[in-house]
Amino acid sequence: MNEQDSKRRIKLTETEDGNVLFNVPFPKDLKDLKGMAPIVIKQPYHIDYIHSYGQDSPFFAGLANGKLLGTRCGPCRYTYGTPRLHCMVCGEPCAWVELPREGAVHTFTVCHFGGEEFLGETPFILILVEWPGVDTLFLSRLVGVEPEAASLAWIGMKVCAQFKRLSKFKPTDVYFVPG
Amino acid sequence: MRPVYLVSGGVSKFAKARPDVTFQPMVKEAYDYALKDLGLEHRKAAEIVDGTIASYFSDHFTRQLKAGSMVQDYLGLCPKPSKRVEGGGATGGLAFQSGWESVASGRYDICVVYGWETMSRVNTWKGNEFIALASDVSFDYPVGGFYSGYYAMMVVRHMKQFGTSVEQMALVSVKNHHNALHNPYAQKRMKIRIEDVRRAEMVAWPLTMLDICVMSDGAAVTILASAEGVDKLDKATGRRPRPARVTGVGGGIDAMRMADRPHAEVILLPHEKAEDYEGLKYPGVHSFRAGRMASKTAYQMAGITDPARELDFIELHDAYTSSELQTYEDMGLCRYGEGGKFVEAGKPFMPGLDYGYRFPAQGTIPINPSGGLLACGHPVGATGLMQAVFALWQLQGSIARHFGNDRLQVKNARRGAIHSHAGTGTYVSVSILERAF
């Protein structure tokens, strides 16, 4: 076997998955390449993150146990409707507190579109919940009202927290209903 | 700090998709325009440019880490120093200010700031998902992450608090899409009426498709220089540049989760009094505290005490009609709560254009004469730089040369502002530009 033949025998294994195009038009004159349409291919990308909730983890454990938790600053008593473990006002550590199940709609929207992950759930209602004596708000979903009936009258509506029986360890383990 | 001048700029026409090029040649289109407008040839530029700032937002959209160095090599600017600046929707405005810092500090005499985004590489709804990753991924994103939804919640509270109407918001859409009719760089050029905005498909109540800007592919470039840099350019081209001086830079930031924002007191501008806002809880979710902070610090530096009188025009971040209206207030063009009345009076419209409506005070301070993000598009890393380029052309009086007509030229414009804004008002930058020739 001559050297040329042995080189031809060395080959990278080829597969037929991914983008397979058996024939691509190509001009004889390289000058024509400037007029070529772009090649556009599909490039999949999938990642599973190992996401730690870190210091916020007790919030999610709370949801799994039917408790909505916020935090309160020891020294200045500033109370967070969405937990923060250090106070934005005085910088001191905050303690966990249980929030009332009943709150009120501070503001809302009805999403008729959304990110790809949530498109199948449209229309859905987002609300920011407020509580008396709690200094910050909480983002959640409102169910049990007609999305098409959206109106400013919804602001101030009394709402009550409900918990999913099957926890997914996401903030949507809690949602709100009127009343 | 030394004086810093904006000497030239270029913009690639923003489009829904640019599959014909990867991001590097798109930036080169804007870069070549900026050089040509100065009369500076490529080799000379590569010799006298001291360094660059790369402005791009999302590694998800690009699916390419360290894309900035690929632009630097495509432009032939290696081995000059460069760095990337990123801050969501405000990326362009922040990068522009980073360029200013590089020159003001004395590090560079000539600094190129280039920005781009290629958002067409995923479908629109995946794109919305990527953008929503710029909200807290533990507490906000999983609830239904959608930026149009977040802004809708903010303006719903504004409506409740101040009586702002959807028709007032729609007027912003009428104005910006109409202005764009005369801007060849704009993507959406339309004569529309309030009813068209309200009849358009609902996206997040009360915002419709015509209240919201579109994702785009595009690039923009600005060239900043010290007085010494201007002299170098003069020498290299044999032509005196017609620059704008950057007389004020301001910035602000607010909590990522809007739920966390305080309900306290208004940050006052020099022409406002505490009594104006008695009982108003601020910023809550109805106003952008970062926008107020950015305006206040930029005005302070530029010596502006009454912005509505002392600015000739503003290019501001109108990703939503609602956020343009809210920004009038943050920037002190009217009091908090009066943004709706401000647009209804016609103040932010161009004087002399027929929008199909009669206004009592049309054109007192044109806002987004270019058509803004609503009409030009919002390729994130390019947007804030596009504003700087359009502002420079206004101050040069060169709109006719660049747009092919002078209908959007603000007459005798001497001082303007650009305003760049990231997700729900997290990062905001304001820069003041003044004619300097």
**A6 pLDDT more than 80:** no
- For residue B432, being part of any structural domain is answered with no
How far is B234 from chain A, CA to nearest CA, in Å?
A: 36
- For residue B247, being part of any structural domain is answered with no
Record the tokens describing residue B18, joined without a space.
């640019």
CA of B157: which chain A residue's CA is closest?
Answer: A107
Interface of B with A in 358-417 (CB under 8 A): none
A107, B255: Cβ pair inside 8 Å? no
Partner B contacted by A87 (CB < 8 A): no
* Cβ–Cβ < 8 Å for B234, B193: no
Instruction: Summarize pLDDT for A133-149 with one digit per residue, the tens.
Output: 999 999 999 999 999 99
- For residue B155, being part of any structural domain is answered with no
Close Cβ partners of B5 (under 8 Å, ≥ 6 residues apart)? B224, B225, B226, B227, B229, B230, B241, B243, B244, B245, B246, B436
CA of B164: which chain A residue's CA is closest?
Answer: A152
* Cβ–Cβ < 8 Å for B431, B245: no
Instruction: Summarize pLDDT for B287-337 with one digit per residue, the tens.
Output: 999 999 999 999 999 999 999 999 999 999 999 999 999 999 999 999 999
Burial class for B411, CB neighbours closer than 10 Å (0-12, 13-18, 19+): exposed
- For residue B223, being part of any structural domain is answered with yes
**A7 pLDDT more than 80:** no
A141, B123: Cβ pair inside 8 Å? no
CA of B262: which chain A residue's CA is closest?
Answer: A136
Instruction: Summarize pLDDT for A8-38 with one digit per residue, the tens.
Output: 789 999 888 888 788 898 999 999 999 999 9
Partner B contacted by A164 (CB < 8 A): no
Dihedral sign computed on CA atoms, order B332, B416, B176, B366: positive
B79 prior amide bond cis, ω within 30? yes
Instruction: Please report which confidence band the pLDDT of residue A1 belongs to, taking 50, 70 and 90 as the band edges.
Output: low
B257, A82: Cβ pair inside 8 Å? yes
d(CA A104, CA B304): 41
Partner B contacted by A113 (CB < 8 A): yes
B206 prior amide bond cis, ω within 30? yes
- Into how many domains does chain B fold? 1
B128, A111: Cβ pair inside 8 Å? no
d(CA A147, CA A124): 7
Contact pairs from chain A to chain B, CB under 8 Å: 131
- For residue B287, being part of any structural domain is answered with no
Q: CA B421 from chain center: how many Å? A: 7
* Cβ–Cβ < 8 Å for B138, A171: yes
How far is B199 from chain A, CA to nearest CA, in Å?
A: 14
Interface of B with A in 100-139 (CB under 8 A): 123, 125-126, 128-132, 137-139
Record the tokens describing residue B165, joined without a space.
């109407």
Chain B residues within 8 A of A40 when measuring between CB atoms = 19
Partner A contacted by B163 (CB < 8 A): no
Over residues A153-175, the mean pLDDT reads 98
Range of the domain at B111: 5-122+217-237
Nearest to B149 among A111, A136, A172 (CB): A111
Burial class for A41, CB neighbours closer than 10 Å (0-12, 13-18, 19+): exposed
A117, B145: Cβ pair inside 8 Å? yes
Task: Give the count of beta carbons closer than 10 Å to the beta carbon of residue A157.
Answer: 16
Backbone angles phi, psi at A129, to 5 degrees: -95, 140
Record the tokens describing residue A25, joined without a space.
């038009």
- For residue B127, being part of any structural domain is answered with no
Chain A residues within 8 A of B148 when measuring between CB atoms = 111, 113
How far is B159 from chain A, CA to nearest CA, in Å?
A: 8
Partner B contacted by A131 (CB < 8 A): no
pLDDT given at position B185: 97
What averages of pLDDT result for each successive group of 10 residues across chain B (437 residues)? 97 95 98 98 98 96 95 98 98 98 98 98 94 96 96 98 98 98 97 98 98 97 98 97 98 98 97 96 98 98 98 98 98 98 98 97 98 98 98 98 98 98 97 98
> What is the ipTM metric for this complex?
0.96
B142, A171: Cβ pair inside 8 Å? yes
Partner A contacted by B17 (CB < 8 A): no
B146, A111: Cβ pair inside 8 Å? yes
Domain containing B88 — which CATH number?
3.40.47.10
* Cβ–Cβ < 8 Å for B178, B355: yes
pLDDT given at position A8: 78
